[in-house]
Each structure stands twice: as structure tokens, then as C-alpha cells.
């Protein structure tokens, strides 16, 4: 099946790499940035065709849209010119399936996706929602694409902004926490290398415990925190410092920005 990727920045490039490894797709990638296009083309080799302009992209059964939300209008006219019906999968943050359908026309069967960067290591999370014209078979194709990089779930579109904030932006939020823990450990006497390694691997192991063993976060906290021990002392500081409130504020800010993007902001 032919798949055309429009936009190959950070997330688009990650998806191209993931699909190229899978080897089930005839891939064509449009990336206007010459430096990025040439670097990715060299990395992918002869198996993936790269072009500069959308007008150069051939017909494809699936088009995966990975440009910045503000660029939607720039490619909408080209999408409207497609000859036949096609599956359009969009990863544009904040851009609803209703807006996509209006911008690109009735030929597109629209599916919206929100993946994250952990696709790079096969541990990604991707949320999918159905849009105008999309059928069950289209959702299965979208699921197959992103399942190559991790976990996929289908949600209602009204939940998508929250997903964008949680799992889309979440890798940055969690990396920031690793950085803060590591910096604190360095100030307490660890070497920077050891501090980052320990903090990152602790987060990795914690995620594995929560997912693979089905342990609830509160249960894991209780299991680690012995009464009167070091963990309990640290948790009390986190609670007193308003960690829960900061998490809520970060989520609200990301959700608010997603809604602004939906309006073209």
C-alpha cells in the first residue's frame, strides 16, 4: 500500500523511521526543509522517496499529515486536488476532524492521531479518533501504522486535547522531572552521569511496573514507602510543595494551547 507523508520534522521523521523498519509500505515523503530532507533521505536510503513540494507527491491510498497546524491551509488545496478517495491521517495538535474535513474536502476519509516520541523505541502511545467519512477499515489501517511503535487506543474526539497534554506532551514533562531529580542528586554529591542514569532508569522501571504488573500508582507508592522511612519523608515534601497542583496546572496549560491551535492560534 502506498503511503505519503507530508511533513517530516521531529514526529514525522520518527514515524518515517518506524514505517521504514516495518517494511510494509511504499513510502513517499514530502519535506520542504532541504537540510532535514537530505539528512533523513540519507538515513533511509533508496527505499524511501523524498520530494520538496507537495505538488511532486504522487497519488497514494494513505496520506499522513504531519505539518505544523498553521500550515494546514497551505496544503489543503493540494489535498482537495487528489483524484480519488483516500485515507487522511492527521497528527496536527488541536486540529479537529471537523475542521480537517472542511479544509480538505469530501474525498478524504479522516482519522486523527496523537502519537508521542516514544514511538522511536517501540514504547509509544497513540490515541486515534474517527472523523468524517472514515470507516472501520480505515481505523484498522491507522491502528496498524502506529502499533508498529507501541500502544494504540481509540478515544472520543472531545478527549483528544487532554490526550495531547498527557501523553503527547507527557514525555517532556517526565523528562523534566528526571532532570530535576538528577540535578538535585548532583547537588547532594552524585556525579552528573550517575545521577541522570539512575533517575532515568528509575522512571523506566517504574513505568514497567505500573504497566506490566498492573499496579496502581498509589499502590506502588504505598509499597515503597515504609512508615517513618526515607520514601515517606520525601513524599510528604512533594505533597506539601504542591506537586499535584503543578501537574494540574501543566495539563491545563497544554490543553488550553491545544484549543488555541484548533482556532488557528
Considering the domain boundaries, does residue 164 fall inside one? no
pTM for the complete prediction? 0.89
pLDDT tens readout for residues 66-105: 998 888 988 999 999 998 899 999 999 889 999 999 999 9
CATH of the domain at 177: 1.10.3730.10
Q: Give me the percent of the chain exceeding a pLDDT of 90.
A: 86
What's the CA gap between 150 and 116, in Å, rounded? Answer: 10
Residues 91 and 9 in one domain: yes
Tell me the pLDDT band of 21, cut-offs 50, 70 and 90: confident
Considering the domain boundaries, does residue 133 fall inside one? yes
Q: What is the pLDDT of residue 69?
A: 87
Mean pLDDT of 30-37: 93
CATH of the domain at 10: 3.40.50.720
Residues 151 and 187 in one domain: no
Q: Select from 109, 123, 110 the least CA-distant residue to 152.
A: 123
Q: Select from 68, 54, 69 the least CA-distant residue to 5.
A: 54
As for how many domains the chain has, the answer is 2
Considering the domain boundaries, does residue 213 fall inside one? yes
Please say which residue of 156, 189, 215 terminates a domain.
Answer: 156
Q: What is the pLDDT of residue 265?
A: 62
Domain hosting 258: range is: 170-262
Q: Is 146 helix (H, G, I), strand (E, B) or coil?
A: helix
Q: What residues does 129 pair with on adjacent strands?
A: 112
Residues 132 and 187 in one domain: no
Q: Is 114 helix (H, G, I), strand (E, B) or coil?
A: strand
Residues 141 and 174 in one domain: no
Rounded to whole angstroms, the maximal C-alpha distance in the chain is 69
Residues 88 and 112 in one domain: yes
Amino acid at each position: 500500500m502506498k503511503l505519503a507523508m507530508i511533513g517530516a520534522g521531529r514526529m514525522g521523521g520518527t514515524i518515517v523511521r518506524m514505517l521504514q523498519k516495518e517494511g510494509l509500505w511504499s513510502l513517499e515523503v514530502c519535506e520542504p526543509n532541504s537540510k532535514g530532507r537530505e539528512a533523513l533521505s540519507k538515513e533511509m536510503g533508496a527505499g524511501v522517496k523524498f520530494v520538496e513540494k507537495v505538488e511532486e507527491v504522487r497519488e497514494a491510498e494513505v496520506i499522513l499529515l504531519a505539518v505544523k497546524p498553521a500550515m494546514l491551509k497551505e496544503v489543503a488545496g493540494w489535498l482537495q486536488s487528489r483524484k480519488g478517495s483516500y485515507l487522511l491521517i492527521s497528527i496536527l495538535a488541536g486540529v479537529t476532524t471537523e475542521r480537517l474535513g472542511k479544509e480538505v474536502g469530501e474525498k478524504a476519509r479522516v482519522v486523527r492521531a496523537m502519537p508521542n516520541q516514544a514511538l522511536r523505541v517501540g514504547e509509544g502511545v497513540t490515541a486515534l479518533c474517527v472523523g468524517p467519512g472514515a470507516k472501520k477499515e480505515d481505523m484498522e489501517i491507522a491502528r496498524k501504522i502506529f502499533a508498529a511503535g507501541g500502544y494504540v487506543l481509540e478515544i472520543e474526539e472531545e478527549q483528544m486535547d487532554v490526550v495531547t497534554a498527557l501523553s503527547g506532551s507527557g514525555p517532556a514533562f517526565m523528562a523534566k522531572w528526571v532532570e530535576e531529580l538528577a540535578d538535585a542528586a548532583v547537588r547532594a554529591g552524585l556525579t552528573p552521569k550517575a545521577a541522570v542514569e539512575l533517575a532515568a532508569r528509575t522512571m523506566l522501571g517504574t513505568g514497567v511496573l505500573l504497566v506490566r504488573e498492573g499496579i496502581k500508582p498509589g499502590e506502588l507508592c504505598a509499597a515503597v514507602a515504609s512508615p517513618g522511612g526515607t520514601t515517606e519523608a520525601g513524599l510528604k515534601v512533594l505533597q506539601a510543595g504542591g506537586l499535584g497542583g503543578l501537574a494540574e496546572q501543566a495539563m491545563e496549560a497544554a490543553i488550553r494551547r491545544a484549543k488555541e491551535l484548533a482556532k488557528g492560534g
